[in-house]
Amino acid sequence: MKELLRLLSATATVIRIESNEITSKITSGLEQYVPCKRDNCSCHKSVINLDLAPFKDGITKEQFAVARSKGTKCAGIEYYLTALASKMPDMELAINTRDWPQLNQAWGHAKAPVLSFSKTRDYYDIMYPAWSFWEGGPAISLYPTGIGRWDKHRISISAAAEKWPWEKKESKAFFRGSRTSAERDPLVYLSRSEPDLVDA
């Protein structure tokens, strides 16, 4: 028992140290943050250059075949691309609309030009700025011109959430979101069969 307590204490110490390091990095990042210039979006240039570097010698048909297998269809993106099509050169794009990047270098994934809205440096994915971090986005009845910038929208979500403390909430799982992957389907099916348990 003493050994277990010693291990737990040591683990807690490590967690505190790691937590302090993470907090320090966050604080440092916030202090160094410089907002992007909206007139030219120059803050994205270094990210784009880093993401395109693996493809500096071009993209092969084989690489694009891999990329195509990782891309997903999204009516919203198709809508905007169709509107821009006359202004764009003849090209093909592989766009990942999932919530996670696709091609991890460390896992041995092949290099391929997949556009993703989230990634780390461990991935070959080419990051693009998602509408949710800027403005626009899907138009819904509550927001007929699009839900707008996520950084501003989440403030209103947080304010609304404060009106509903846990004691006032129902004991029911709740989900609203797009069908970005088949993994979400079982939740919808469960909601249909057990509506008292899940609302999805």
Point out the residues that are catalytic.
Answer: 99
User: Rounded distance, CA 126 to CA 113, Å?
Assistant: 6
User: Rounded distance, CA 15 to CA 21, Å?
Assistant: 10
User: Rounded distance, CA 73 to CA 94, Å?
Assistant: 9
Distance of alpha carbon 89 from its chain centroid, rounded? 27
Pair of tokens at residue 115: 């556009």
Pair of tokens at residue 95: 């766009």
Rg of the chain taking only CA atoms, in angstroms: 22
